[in-house]
């Protein structure tokens, strides 16, 4: 029978998630720019924002640090 390959997913620290949510909640920053800069899918950031809002954002069991902040350059929107 065929073997199923185990998928390897990125794991993000609680601090990474909280910082991404904090940046996304800034009124002059576009969430799409954050997701592109961090290399994450927009749905992931949306989920983290909902979890944060509901008090459910937490560190996953067995999560390993993932740090991609050095590539982040937010876009400030002038109003």
Dist CA 50 CA 72 (whole Å): 22
So where are the chain's domains? 14-67
Q: Is the dihedral of CA 25, 27, 28, 33 positive or negative?
A: positive
pLDDT in tens, the chain (79 residues): 677 877 776 788 899 999 999 999 888 889 899 999 999 999 999 999 999 999 888 765 554 444 454 445 555 555 5
41 three-state secondary structure:
coil
Dist CA 36 CA 79 (whole Å): 22
Residue 66: the pLDDT is 45
- To which residue do tokens 């509901």 refer? 54
């Amino acid at each position: 029978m065929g073997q199923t390959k185990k998928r390897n997913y990125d794991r993000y620290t609680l601090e990474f998630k909280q910082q991404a949510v904090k940046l996304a909640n800034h009124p002059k920053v576009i969430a799409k720019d954050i997701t592109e800069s961090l290399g994450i899918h927009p749905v992931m950031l949306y989920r983290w924002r909902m979890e944060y809002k509901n008090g459910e954002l937490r560190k996953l069991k067995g999560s390993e640090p993932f740090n991609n902040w050095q590539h982040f350059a937010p876009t400030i929107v002038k109003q």
